């Protein structure tokens, strides 16, 4: 599965990606069956997905219809989701949370 196909599938299924331990990408999908091919694609594209999550890229936003009002242009053809940015602090492991606050302060 290509990255574009994966991102479309994630948004269509409203799957939530977050940081796990040891810089892994964890899929949170309560009460949903997620195919093995989707899980494999997430592992295959983990590095790119990590970068997109850290930038709060709208392409990894799990609910575009609810969050669209919070989207803003970040320059260089990139849009970020303000709602995901706020939510990320609540679902990140503590280690990442501290570094996230440091980045925001600088």
Condensed to tens digits (0 to 9), the pLDDT of residues 2-11 reads 999 999 998 8
pLDDT tens per residue across span 73-96: 888 888 888 888 887 766 665 544
> Whole-model pTM?
0.73
Q: Which two tokens stand for residue 38?
A: 């989707």
> Using CA atoms, how far apart are residues 97 and 106, in angstroms rounded to an integer?
15
pLDDT of residue 86: 81
> Using CA atoms, how far apart are residues 36 and 40, in angstroms rounded to an integer?
6
Q: What per-residue string of b and e applies to 28-66 under the rule 16 or more CB within 10 Å gives b?
A: ebeeeeeeeebeebbeebeeebbebbebbbbbbbbeeee
Q: Please tell me whether residue 19 adopts helix, strand or coil conformation.
A: strand
**Which residue has tokens 């989707």?**
38
CB 82 within 8 A of CB 61: no
pLDDT tens per residue across span 50-75: 998 888 888 888 887 778 788 888 88
């Amino acid at each position: 599965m290509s990255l574009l196909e994966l991102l479309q599938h994630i948004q269509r299924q409203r799957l939530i990606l977050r940081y796990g331990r040891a810089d892994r990408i964890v899929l949170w999908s309560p009460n949903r069956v997620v195919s093995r091919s989707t899980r494999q694609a997430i592992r295959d594209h983990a590095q790119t997905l990590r970068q997109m999550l850290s930038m709060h890229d709208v392409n990894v936003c799990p609910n575009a219809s609810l969050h669209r009002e919070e989207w803003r242009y970040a320059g260089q053809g990139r849009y970020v989701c303000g709602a995901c940015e706020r939510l990320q602090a609540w679902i990140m492991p503590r280690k990442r949370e501290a570094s996230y606050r440091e980045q925001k302060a600088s």
